[in-house]
Chains A and B, each alone.
Chain A
Amino acid sequence: MEASKVIHAIYNDDDVLMNAVKKVKAAKHQIEEIYTPFPVHGLDKAMGLAPTRLAICAFLYGCVGLTVAVLMMNFIMIEDWPQDIGGKPSFSYLENMPAFVPIMFELTVFFAAHLMVITFYLRSKMWPFKKAENPDPRTTDDHFLMELPIHNNEVELQSLLSQTGAVEINVVDKAH
């Protein structure tokens, strides 16, 4: 169950943030979300996030693209209407394969790239006209924000976060 009250700790340096994350993890507190203006190297590891499987998706999409290319050209050029075009051997797919490789390659890349990007958009819930989920506009410029849920431990969390060098600590009621 999502806590209705959260605490926002704001930092103005990524090194301070990293140390804070490590401290909070060591104290076994749950981190709901971290907002940063730019990618902080190693943050995902410090937070203990699972590695992305997007690359595996891309590989599978590439396989799909290759299959589409092969089936399409095999049907069009070999099965449906095997014409003699400039003496190219259209008796079997293999015999004429070198001519198809550029398309096989491009479709593999096309499918892998585009479907992976779309997968990324879907998984990270991004689309045009989507309402921005930004708790504090300063996090897109020069501030870092760590959001922690409060489970009857507001005082404890506040003292812990104030030790980590937070420049601002706010308790926010998320319930609407």
Chain B
Amino acid sequence: MYTLSNRLKLVSLILIIVGAGLWGTGYYSSHHVTLDNVKTMLAEEASHGSHGDSHATITDTHEVEAHVNTDAHGEEASHAEADAHHGDEHAEHVMHQIHNRPYSALYVAAFFFMMIALGALAFYAIQFAAQAGWSPLLFRVMEGITYYVLPGALIVVAIAVWAGDHIFIWMDPEMVNPESDKFDKLVAGKSAWLNTTGFVIRALVFIGGWSLYRFFARKFSLAQDQAPEGDRSNFKKSFRIAAAFLVFFIYTESMMSWDWIMSVDPHWFSTLFGWYVFAGMMVCAVTVMAMITIYLKSKGLLQQVNDSHIHDLAKFMFGFSIFWTYLWFSQFMLIWYSNIPEEVTYFVTRIEDYNLPFFGMIAMNFLFPLLLLMNSDYKRIPWFVIMAGVVILAGHYIDIFNMIMPATVGDRWFIGMPEIGAILLFAGLFMFIVFYAISKQPLIAKGNPFIKESEHFHY
């Protein structure tokens, strides 16, 4: 039985307060940026020689967007004219980007921690549906992590609705109003799916379904502990709902990824996006499982967990990292290869404005785990798994960052106060909720029919 220590409570409280403080400062300072501030800032950037380059890129990307309307890309004269014409518009554009940043920073961090819990829920259901013999010892850890699904997902949706068109431009009613000069035909064409009411209803259905499974899975798991010898009815129920949940999950996860992530770029779509997001969440979930298991074992609480269990978790970290890379590359390469303008802008902005995070995350999410976790002996060494896990988690945070930020703040990104603040805030919340849930029940699901096998698991 694990008891939530006061130190852990204090650490998570400090993380929450410091994170909220940092994020709040970032929010406050960015919201005091007015159009005049932006104009002075842009003028300064233009006059500074060192900033000349970045300014050129800004106008360039801006031109790409304007290009659709003016079609004046090729000609030098009209290019300059368009530039002068767009001066005010440009400043406003930049001001919006600056305003969007704290919202996006909060959203990225909230989504990141939510997806860890959601991935853990899917992994947990897979263990039941596959009747895995190695993992029952870790079920209580997984159940603890999944406790964050409900609050975490509600927070993500709350932020999405609160931020509105700061993150999801299609939430601006002007975009679908044919009378307005903001009217966007493509967004209007998708408004049957992309509208705020539908967004909220779908989100509540997703969250309701996930939470319902989580509630009953936990209930049956605890009931199985109390069940008399030989009574497997609760386990059978767990098995059935796990199978049903997995069907529900793969549909809702896919739709969730369109709604919560892909729609930040409403002009762009990708068919394997849902899988891609799924792969990322599974890596993070397994990594967090391994980390918490190692932490609890280091406190002497999970003594039956041996290095074979750690080895298996690390193998999943390795495997899902490669699966993620496969999907990342498949998405990137197909779009890069065919180079269709309406699709490829997605990667053009990321490569031009997010070069380091975009390619850096490949090193963190692929090369690093590939080389570190390939050796069978290394997968058994706790500090090695923790080290690889920290890099994987950081890499997948950047992955989410790369999905959201280019659409909302463009080249005005930085990993500064609001981003780090939001990470700390949700890390504290996640830690507190997860360890609170783990402390509620004994750490071993002793009623599980596979628990003996798991205790003797040896690879």
Does A87 sit within 8 A of B, measured CB to CB?
Answer: yes
Residue of A nearest to B332 (CB): A98
Most buried by B among A59, A98, A101: A98
Pairwise interchain contact A59-B374, C-beta atoms closer than 8 A:
yes
B374 touches A98 (CB 8 A): no
Task: Considering the complex, give the chain B residue whose CB is closest to the CB of A42.
Answer: B458
Min CB–CB distance B370 → chain A (angstroms): 11
A87 to B333, Cβ gap below 8 A?
Answer: no
A interface, over-half SS: helix
User: Across the interface, which residues of A come within 8 angstroms of B333, CB to CB?
Assistant: 98-99, 101
Check A101–B374 contact: CB distance below 8 A: no
Q: Which residues of A contact B337 (CB under 8 A)?
A: 98-99
Residues of A with C-beta under 8 A to B376: 55
Q: Which of B329, B332, B339 contacts A87 (CB 8 A)?
A: B339
> Does chain A have a CB within 8 A of B2?
no
CA distance A101 to B332 in the complex (A): 12
Question: In the complex, what distance in Å separates the CA atom of A21 from the CA atom of B313?
Answer: 33
Q: How far is the CB of A73 from chain B (nearest CB, A)?
A: 15
Within the complex, the shortest CB–CB distance from B144 to chain A, in Å, comes to 34
B interface, how many residues as a size bin?
A: under 10
Residues from chain A with a CB closer than 8 A to the CB of B336 are 98
Residues of the A chain whose Cβ atoms lie less than 8 Å from the Cβ of B332 = 98
Alpha-carbon gap, A96 to B339, bound state (A): 13
Give B317-338 interface residues, CB cut-off 8 Å to A.
329, 332-333, 336-337
Contact digits for B170-213, partner A, Cβ 8 Å, 1 yes 0 no: 00000000000000000000000000000000000000000000
Nearest Cβ on chain B to A100's Cβ, whole angstroms: 10
Nearest residue (CB) in B for A41 is B458
For window 14-71 of A, CB contacts with B under 8 Å fall at 55, 59
CA distance A98 to B362 in the complex (A): 13
Q: How far is the CB of A99 from chain B (nearest CB, A)?
A: 6
State the CA gap A148–B339 with chains docked (Å).
69
Please name all residues of chain B whose beta carbon is closer than 8 Å to the beta carbon of A99 when the two chains form the complex. 333, 337
Contacting A at CB under 8 A, from B336-378, are 336-337, 339, 374, 376
Considering the chains assembled together, what is the distance between the CA atoms of A98 and B331 in angstroms? 11
Contacts of A101 in B (CB 8 A): 329, 333
Q: Which residues of B contact A87 (CB under 8 A)?
A: 339
The CA-CA distance from A99 to B333 in the complex, in Å, is: 7
Report chain A residues within 8 Å CB of B374. Answer: 59
Chain A residue nearest in CB terms to B338 = A86
A96 CB to closest chain B CB (Å) equals 10
CB neighbours of A55 from chain B (8 A):
376
In the assembled complex, which residues on chain B have CB atoms less than 8 Å from the CB atom of A98?
329, 332-333, 336-337
| Residue from B332, B333, B374, B376 whose CB has the most chain A CB atoms within 10 Å | B333
A128: min CB distance to chain B, Å: 32
Question: What is the CA–CA distance of A98 and B359 in the complex, to the nearest angstrom?
Answer: 13
Closest CB of chain B to A122's CB: distance in Å? 23
- Which B residues are CB-close (under 8 A) to A59? 374
What is the chain A residue whose CB lies nearest that of B329?
A101
The complex places the Cα of A59 from the Cα of B376 at a distance, in Å, of 13
* Contact partners of B329 in chain A: CB under 8 A: 98, 101
Measured CB to CB, the closest approach of chain B to A58, in angstroms, equals 10
Give chain A nearest CB distance to B417 CB in angstroms: 35
CB nearest to B335 among chain A residues:
A98
12 contacts between A and B (CB under 8 A): A55-B376, A59-B374, A87-B339, A98-B329, A98-B332, A98-B333, A98-B336, A98-B337, A99-B333, A99-B337, A101-B329, A101-B333
* 3 smallest beta-carbon distances between A and B, as pairs: A98-B333, A98-B336, A99-B337
Given A98-B329, A98-B332, A101-B329, 7 additional A-B pairs, CB 8 A = A55-B376, A59-B374, A87-B339, A98-B333, A98-B337, A99-B337, A101-B333
A contact residues vs B (CB 8 Å cutoff) = 55, 59, 87, 98-99, 101
